[in-house]
């Protein structure tokens, strides 16, 4: 489309699907503007920076812990990222804990390569959003996308009512653009009206999603009266109890916890507690749904997050592992992060040729990073 006058494309959302699509379009000579409501790129591949009272800075991959590849085009793309120093293999062993039997029941024995972004998970999206031909605008929420028929172009309006620009085509990689949940949070209709589009009816009721709470934990060695040495011994005993250096645990028969990952064991990590470790726990979708049912979809209060943090940590301790008291603990809610179905597994994206509108994301293919990448590639190919 670069050769047929397609000069300006707006990409709404800077998760891996939108970032991949934007990068491919820019490589074809198309001018791309990314609009992202968050403070930075990444979506579920973003990371969280926190600062302790003493000034110690921490960093957590509080969303996607790692990803795998199987499709040739994704394998090729990830290898190119690896050569640029954006990703690395996370070569660790994972365990599975059965709460019902209170036993570690198995370890992964497959040879699947696990990849992580370096030095943080959002490094990939950040690099793609900073590429030549891509302009990224963060902290900008799109409130309305209008197709102007007589100009054959799109007009994007911000949540504050101000015009964000006019574009020859749009890539919607944020599922909230068509979701009723947008109305619940912002009090206005979803930005993109899909009712005029044949083939988009699957979006009319919103995409079913599953929520999740993440708990960020940090364990330190402190300089006070040998307490740090006790913590270090306890951390070592945790791994001795597991009998191997397990850096990830999946939970079976738990109503509260689904996964636990040692975030600081990933390659090239900085902002690690001195002589300590950082962990990220993920709740089950059922637990998250029960909390949201009581508190609603609006931003959870500190009181709610504190209660969630305590419940997740107590469930972690209930494993019987020798887990010391963390010196940092904070919960985060992913309210609509995980799609419960794939709406376009064959085409890998939705496309309207008349208005040059593409909709992409993991919700089109499969609810994982590779699915999101495949959808971003497919959306870019439509232009």
Query: How much is the pLDDT for 1?
Result: 55
Assess contact for 42 and 122: CB atoms under 8 A. yes
Task: Output the pTM of the full model.
Answer: 0.90
165 φ/ψ angles, rounded to the nearest 5 degrees: 135, 170
pLDDT tens-place string over residues 282-318 = 999 999 999 999 998 888 999 999 999 999 999 999 8
Q: Is the pLDDT of residue 379 over 50?
A: yes
Query: How much is the pLDDT for 225?
Result: 30
DSSP 15: B
Percentage of the chain beyond pLDDT 90 is: 68
Q: Is the pLDDT of residue 51 over 90?
A: no
Query: How much is the pLDDT for 49?
Result: 92
Distance CA 32, CA 11 (A): 7
DSSP 272: P
Question: Tokens for 61?
Answer: 């991959």
Q: Is the pLDDT of residue 234 over 60?
A: no
Per DSSP, which regions of the chain are E strands?
8-12, 31-36, 48-51, 57-60, 87-89, 93-98, 103-107, 115-117, 134-138, 142-148, 153-158, 163-167, 169-172, 209-219, 246-252, 257-262, 277-283, 328-339, 350-352, 357-359
Lowest mean pLDDT among 35-44, 114-123, 228-237: 228-237
Distance CA 155, CA 175 (A): 19
Tokens 């209170």 locate to: 102
Question: Tokens for 266?
Answer: 């990933």
Percentage of the chain beyond pLDDT 70 is: 90
Query: How much is the pLDDT for 109?
Result: 56
Query: How much is the pLDDT for 245?
Result: 62
Query: How much is the pLDDT for 137?
Result: 97
N residues, the chain: 383
Lowest mean pLDDT among 62-71, 146-155, 174-183: 174-183
pLDDT tens-place string over residues 94-120 = 889 999 998 876 665 567 899 999 999
Distance CA 58, CA 42 (A): 18
Q: Is the pLDDT of residue 274 over 70?
A: no
Q: What value does the CA radius of gyration of the chain take, rounded to a whole number of Å?
A: 22
């Amino acid at each position: 489309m670069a050769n047929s006058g397609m000069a300006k494309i707006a990409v709404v959302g800077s998760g891996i699907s939108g970032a991949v699509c934007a990068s491919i379009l820019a490589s074809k000579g198309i001018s791309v503007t990314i609009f992202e409501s968050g403070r930075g790129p990444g979506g579920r591949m973003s990371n969280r920076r926190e600062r302790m009272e003493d000034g110690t800075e921490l960093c957590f991959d509080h969303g996607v812990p790692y990803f795998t590849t199987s499709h040739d085009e994704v394998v090729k793309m990830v290898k190119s990222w690896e050569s640029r120093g954006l990703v690395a293999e996370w070569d660790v062993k994972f365990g599975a804990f059965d709460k019902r039997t209170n036993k570690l029941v198995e370890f992964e024995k497959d040879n699947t390569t696990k990849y992580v972004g370096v030095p943080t998970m959002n490094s990939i999206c950040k690099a793609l959003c900073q590429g030549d031909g891509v302009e990224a605008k963060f902290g900008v929420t799109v409130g309305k996308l209008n197709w102007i028929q007589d100009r054959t172009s799109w007009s994007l309006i911000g949540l504050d009512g101000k015009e964000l620009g006019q574009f020859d085509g749009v890539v919607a990689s944020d599922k909230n653009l068509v979701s009723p949940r947008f109305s619940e949070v912002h009090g206005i209709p979803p930005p993109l009206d899909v009712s005029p589009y044949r083939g988009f009816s699957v979006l009319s009721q919103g995409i079913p999603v599953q929520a999740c709470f993440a708990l960020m934990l940090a364990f330190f060695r402190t300089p006070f009266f040998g307490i740090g040495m006790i913590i270090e011994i306890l951390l070592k005993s945790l791994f001795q109890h597991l009998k191997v250096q397990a850096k990830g645990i999946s939970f079976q028969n738990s109503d509260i916890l689904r996964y636990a990952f040692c975030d600081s064991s990933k390659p090239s990590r900085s902002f690690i507690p001195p002589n300590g470790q950082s962990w990220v726990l993920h709740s089950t979708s059922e637990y998250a749904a029960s909390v949201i049912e009581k508190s609603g979809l609006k931003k959870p209060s500190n009181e709610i997050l504190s209660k969630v943090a305590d419940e997740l940590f107590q469930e972690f301790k209930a494993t019987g592992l020798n887990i010391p008291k963390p010196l940092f603990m904070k919960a985060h809610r992913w309210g609509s992060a995980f799609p419960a179905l794939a709406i376009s597994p064959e085409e890998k994206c939705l496309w309207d040729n008349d208005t040059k509108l593409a909709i992409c994301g993991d919700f089109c293919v499969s609810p994982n990073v590779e699915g999101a990448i495949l959808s971003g590639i497919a959306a870019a190919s439509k232009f």
